[in-house]
A and B are shown apart, each in its own frame.
Chain A
Amino acid sequence: MAGKSKTDQTTKTKFLQKVPTGISGFDEITFGGLPAGRPSLICGEAGSGKTLFAMEFLVHGAREFNEPGVFVAFEEKASELATNVISLGIDVNELVAQNKLRVDYVHIDKSEIEETGEYDLEGLFIRLNHAIDSIGARRVVLDTIENLFAGLDNKAILRAELRRLFQWLKEKNVTALITGEKGEGSLTREGMEEYVSDCVIVLDHRVANQISTRRLRIVKYRGSVHGTNEYPFLIDSDGVSVLPITSLKLQGTVSTERIGTGIPTLDAMLDKKGIYRGSSMLVTGTAGTGKTSIVASFANETCNRNERCLYFAFEESADQIIRNMLSIGIDLQKHIKKGLLKFHAARPTMYGLEMHLVQIAKQIKEFKPKTVVIDPITNLITVGTVNEVQSTLNRLLDFLQLSGVTAVFTGLTPSLGNSDKGDEAMSSMVDTWMHVKDIEMNGERNRGLYIMKSRGIKHSNQVREFIITDNGLVLQDVYLGPDGVLTGSAREAHKIQLEMEKQIQEQQLIKDEKELELKARDLDLKIQALKAELESAKDKLTANHQEDNLRKQMIDTQKHYLLQYRTGTTVKIRPKPKK
């Protein structure tokens, strides 16, 4: 164990020490910055940003890392240099006054110089040494040392002297950055890369489809791991920022938290809970299918949760979206006032795809939103080629996922084809993919929403009709007809039909009931009549009985009387009382 830790110790001491440049993103791709105490080379075409990069290296060093720097300018005078960078918030004169920076302009004019015989560049060494010692500099920039070659004829001496210079810089233990103009067939005009072999950075300024993009690549970094890709970089009012939006590893924390989409019926399709926080959602569809409405709902919902949302609009202006969303009952203005929602509207052709992504990443870093909406992402695709798009979108998604930002994109698909390059590029990368499709039936177009995929979420496989109402978005239940899902007026017609059938049935029931009732009453009446008849019959019968009885009595009486008469006894004629 002890032995092992000892070897660890020794390997640790051997590790290359690095000096942070302070340039946003650059220190990430180099895992720490430039090699400490060694010269590095930065080369590129004219106007690629070399001088600015170098100046920032010094300024950040002076301001943030307490490392004063010397800027040896072979091209521009100190005053010109100061003027050039002041627009980027760098006050050279102030730093010079504070003894944190020293600018030494080496003027080389071939017409003023005559060469005779042997010489060396000891003068330059002495100047540099003096400058370094006078402010205790830790950083040195030589911009652009190759100008010596233009001013002096004896190349052999120059080469030998430059080799000596770089060696000397190493011995001096200053971190040096040497700029070099791009040459034909080599990185620099005079092959400086041969001398400075520790770290070589190439800046590029390419124009594709009339859109220029700045890119940075680390060609070589001896003794260190580094990102080898081309990274887009930006020069804006904050200076240089490199965006390492290619994560080198596929990792990052994932959340199991679910967040609503702002459309309850849509959440219902996603296992009633919505999508995972930090995941990505793509809504594709043809023009006018309501993609923006869906993502605006999502943005609205995010803000309702008191979370920040950054909305990149590449098709409409912010005001347009706010107005349009108000018409469906989504008030985005109030979220803007609260500072929860921020719009960033730009024309896609304003700059290249990479630059857009750089911009997006920069804005995200500044605003720190929980949700990012890009509407539509396919507009960005128009400014790049398929391959470019694929890789850059991948980077964007990586970046978003690493930042734990929930990303929502819309993608425009052409009305006929099933998929286009946008789809291909995006669909495999996103976590949830929804597709809004026009369903054309009975002379009308309706919207059907499908969930094509949703990683890790049990989602409905059914098509829902997607309706935009005054109060937001609603997904209607599925109505199945003989031709599949019924939408629009067909669905309404089907609904009416069902309603009608129901009513007819009810009517029929009432009618039947009534008939039965009538019949019952009829029978009742009949029963009454019969009862009456029965009653009268009974009455008659009784009357007859009485008559008979009476008659019988009468006869009996008469008989009795007659008998009496014959026998001579008198009998009162009196009828027997009736019961």
Chain B
Amino acid sequence: MIKEKKWQLRLYVAGQTSKSVMALKNLKQYCETHLKGQYSIEVIDLLLKPQLAEGDQIFAIPTLVRKVPEPMRRIIGDLSNEEKVLVGLNIVPIDKQN
């Protein structure tokens, strides 16, 4: 296995809103399906760490940021559309890999 996770994802949320919960659930599901073992998810609650919002240019909640691999990508919303999320993160779906 690769030591460094290939995909470093950050999910910015503001408290446990339904949208945030939904986004995290969706994200976990996609990652498990397509990036199993290659990813890490960091959830940042801006209500607790508001100073972090500026650094990653967060204005919408929830926002998913792909820090690695470069370039940085951002996806906003509850991530309910799988296809869009995968396109946004530039992930080739697992079923097409085979």
Interface residues of chain A, those whose CB is within 8 Å of chain B, are: 104, 106-108, 112-124, 126-127, 129-130, 148, 152
Contact = CB atoms under 8 A, between A and B. Distances in A.
A120 B73 contact: no
Contact of A116 (B57, B61, B71, B81): B81
Contact of A119 (B19, B46, B81): B19
A116 B75 CA distance: 7
B58 A123 contact: yes
B57 A126 contact: no
| Of listed B23, B57, B79, B84, residue having the most chain A CB within 10 A | B57
Given A117-B80, A118-B80, A123-B46, A112 B74 contact: yes
B60 A118 contact: no
18 contacts: A104-B54, A107-B57, A114-B84, A115-B84, A116-B75, A117-B22, A117-B23, A117-B79, A118-B19, A118-B80, A119-B62, A120-B61, A124-B59, A126-B47, A126-B53, A127-B54, A127-B58, A127-B59
Given A119-B62, A130-B50, A106 B57 contact: yes
Contact of A113 (B47, B61, B74): B74
Q: Is the interface on chain B under 10, 10 to 19, 20 to 34, or 35 or more residues? A: 20 to 34
A161 to B, nearest CB: 9
Nearest to B14: A122
A101 B57 CA distance: 19
Interface of B: 12, 14, 17, 19, 22-23, 46-47, 50-51, 53-54, 57-63, 71-81, 84-85, 87-88
B69 to A, nearest CB: 14
Contacts of B53: 123, 126-127, 130
A112 B85 CA distance: 13
Contact of A114 (B12, B23, B57, B87): B87
A473 B76 CA distance: 82
| Of listed A119, A122, A127, A129, residue having the most chain B CB within 10 A | A122
A307 to B, nearest CB: 57
Contacts of A106: 57, 59
Name the 10 nearest CB pairs between A and B, nearest first.
Answer: A114-B88, A117-B80, A130-B50, A117-B78, A122-B61, A117-B77, A124-B59, A123-B58, A116-B81, A116-B77
Contact of B88 (A116, A119, A127): A116
A120 B75 contact: no
A120 B14 CA distance: 10
Contacts of B58: 123, 126-127
A118 B59 contact: no
B89 to A, nearest CB: 8
A112 B53 CA distance: 17
A122 B87 CA distance: 25
Nearest to A158: B60
A484 B16 CA distance: 100
Contacts of B79: 116-117
Contacts of A126: 14, 46-47, 50, 53, 58, 61
A118 B77 contact: yes
Given A116-B81, A119-B60, A127-B59, 11 more contacts: A106-B59, A108-B57, A114-B85, A117-B22, A118-B19, A118-B22, A118-B77, A121-B59, A122-B61, A123-B14, A124-B60
A318 to B, nearest CB: 54
Contacts of B71: 112
A369 B73 CA distance: 63
A119 B76 contact: yes
Nearest to B45: A126
Contacts of B14: 122-123, 126
